[in-house]
Amino acid sequence: MNISGYQIIREIGQGGMATVYLARHEVSQDQVAVKVMHANLIADKSLVERFLREGRTHAGFDHPQIIRIFEVGQLDDGRPYFTMEYLEGDTLKDFLARQGSLSPGDAFQLLSPIMSALAYVHGKRFIHRDVKPENIFLCRERGAVLMDFGITKEADRNTRFTEAGMAVGTPHYMSPEQARGEATDHRTDIYAMGIVLYEALAGRVPFDGKESIAIAIKHIQEFAPPLPADVSNYQPIIDKALAKDPVRRYGSIVALQQDFQRGLAGEILTPFSATSQTVAATGVTGTRIMPSAGLDGNNKGRKKLIWLVAGLLLVAGGGAAFHYFGSQRPVIVQSGGGGAAIDGSQSTAPSSSSPSPLVPTPPVASMTVSLDQKWQELQPLVAADPVAAAKKFADLMARTANDPVDASRAVAIRRQADPLFSNAALQFVRNNQVFSPGGRCAFDVLKHWAPLAMDQGQVDRVLKPCLLRYADLAQKNIQSGSPEKTKSFIASARRLAGMSPQRSATLLSAAGIAKLEGQIALLDKQVSEQQRQASRQRSVANEEIDQAWGLLSQSRPWQARQKVNKAEALGATANDLSGIQRALDIALKERKRQGEGLLTKARQAYEEGRFSQAVSFCDGVDPELSGKFLDTAVCDTARREKQSLANKWKSQNDGPVTVQKVK
């Protein structure tokens, strides 16, 4: 397998969706992990899109406690891949398996960076939806790192599942609303973090079972057992984080983080309110059961039950993404259909004799050669790999702050660097590589170089064509009726313009971004009106469905069917109609069965010459079925014979009556 720009060293892991390789960048010589989708899966376009979406979403994050994605692309045979950091350390899952429970101080030192990472993700209006110890990596260089964004979703996309066949979480860490298939927001991640915190303090997860469905039902119906007595003062945090109703949880992950800090400082935390869902710490260890959600017997309850069952079935067969890093030994972390592999060829994970990851060892920076010499060595890399060169250039300039180097020399070098990086970034623009593919684009050059540029005009020289490119893409998507894509391009344009703070407004105006935003606002208004109209129609359709249920209960299936047809015309979804349609089918089949029985009796009576009785049986057949779904020819014949006999009798008995006197 060949990936342009990289030398594959060896395979380091494999999951249900992809294989991961350790690779070396041919120019910078940096080691990276390369995740490549299995060839037998690329026929499924939805899986390919999901894989690429994971990489692109993740690549947009820039936080020290979130693993970095460098590049997203596709091989010549169509297999998608992305490259990411190759780090050394261990997962929190394996660490807890060795250590058992942690002290509150150690738990906070490990999990506080992850809480900060989640706050960053939530601030970007994304939800992770799969926070768990397997997705927390303990890196010796920079502490705990959050990874695996395979089922991340945008906070304002009100979807129940990302795609058919995909899980929406891991059972042990799944929030009640995830288990029920309801809409999720950032409080789903807060619930999962509460489970991780409980596991770190108690040495076990609060809800367990032999099957995924049993665990998920516990999340919905049961309350977590109390924390051990020695950490019971943190119970209010657990109670609030694990509230069944998202509204009653912490409003933000930062609020949870601050409460934890107050607890560590010795402050007595306010217990969850008397009406909360806590299990009193009075020696009671039994399970408390909540009333089952979604089983109230009405149409809405039936839908919730369907979502619960569907969601749990998906958990068994779904998957999340993978990320791969160095650890002490080979480990396969299964995550549904995806999985994660952690390569362990280089032993760096904590052990009884090695330093604990709770105290990361920062890298030592020292300049062993002169600044000029390092700059001379770096210049050839600018043409070969501008992104790697820009990153190394930023590192080089950062080191000068603590190095006895002539400050004016550093300034002179920055002036020399401006045209080199400007030209390199422009080449990316000419190749339409502004933001994508991640890791090899104009933005990644600008991100490292622009803050150090001495000539802001050189930065603007790159920004102008970038902004015009995004304005053009935004305009085309407005014309094609794709407001979300348009907004994405405008957001990218604003992010780029931020590289030139003083001229940002001027650059955006020159590119026509403000005008595009006005068009988007108008389009949003139109979409909102369409959505309101659709909502009104959906409400009327639901009323028709409710009336259909009432008619069916009165044994009036044909009238109920008319209501269902009207609801369908109003835009009722297949899910809305599935229950009433099944009930109608059952009722009509029973009517047909009864009709067939009556017709059998009618035929027998006719053959025996009992025409009146045959007609009586025919009269019991549902007239809506007559002639359409049942053969009622015998009924017509029997009625004619009955009428013929009646006419004959009448003709025989309509003459004058003779009265004779009998002596």
Give the span between the Cα atoms of 67 and 144, in whole angstroms: 10
Residue that has been written with the tokens 């050839």 in this structure: 380
Using alpha carbons, select from 575, 621, 576 the residue that is nearest to residue 563: 576
Q: Positive or negative, the Cα torsion across 417, 423, 427, 433? A: positive
**Count of residues in the chain:** 663
Using alpha carbons, select from 474, 485, 482 the residue that is nearest to residue 511: 474
Residue that has been written with the tokens 């935003």 in this structure: 517
Asked whether 326 and 342 are in contact (CB, 8 A), the reply is: yes
- Given 44, 77, 106, 130, the catalytic residue: 130
Give the span between the Cα atoms of 443 and 567, in whole angstroms: 50
Asked whether 66 and 121 are in contact (CB, 8 A), the reply is: yes
Asked whether 378 and 391 are in contact (CB, 8 A), the reply is: no
Asked if omega into 437 is within 30° of 0 (cis), the reply is yes
Tell me, what amino acid is at 312?
L
Helix 442-449 vs helix 407-430: angle between axes, to the nearest 10 degrees? 170
SS3 (DSSP) at 416: helix
Q: How far apart are the first and last CA of the chain?
A: 126
3 state SS for 334-400: CCECCCEEEECCCCCCCCCCCCCCCCCCCCCCCCCCCHHHHHHHHHHHHHHCHHHHHHHHHHHHHHH
- The yes-or-no answer on residue 130 being catalytic is yes
Give the span between the Cα atoms of 268 and 236, in whole angstroms: 10
Asked whether 427 and 474 are in contact (CB, 8 A), the reply is: no
Residue that has been written with the tokens 């109670």 in this structure: 239
Beta partners for 183? none
What counts of helices (H) and strands (E) characterise the chain?
Answer: 21, 12
Residue that has been written with the tokens 């009100």 in this structure: 158
Farthest CA pair distance, the chain: 158
Element (H, E) at 19: strand 18-25
Cα 189 to chain centroid, rounded: 12
Q: Positive or negative, the Cα torsion across 450, 456, 458, 464? A: positive
Give the span between the Cα atoms of 395 and 183, in whole angstroms: 43
Structure tokens at 454: 């001495």
Give the span between the Cα atoms of 289 and 562, in whole angstroms: 42
Asked whether 437 and 81 are in contact (CB, 8 A), the reply is: no
Give 72's Cβ-side CA count (13 Å radius). Answer: 20
Using alpha carbons, select from 575, 538, 574, 544 the residue that is nearest to residue 561: 544
Angle at the Cα of 179 from the Cα atoms of 178 and 182, rounded to 5 degrees: 50
Residue that has been written with the tokens 């020159």 in this structure: 510
Q: Which residues are catalytic?
A: 130
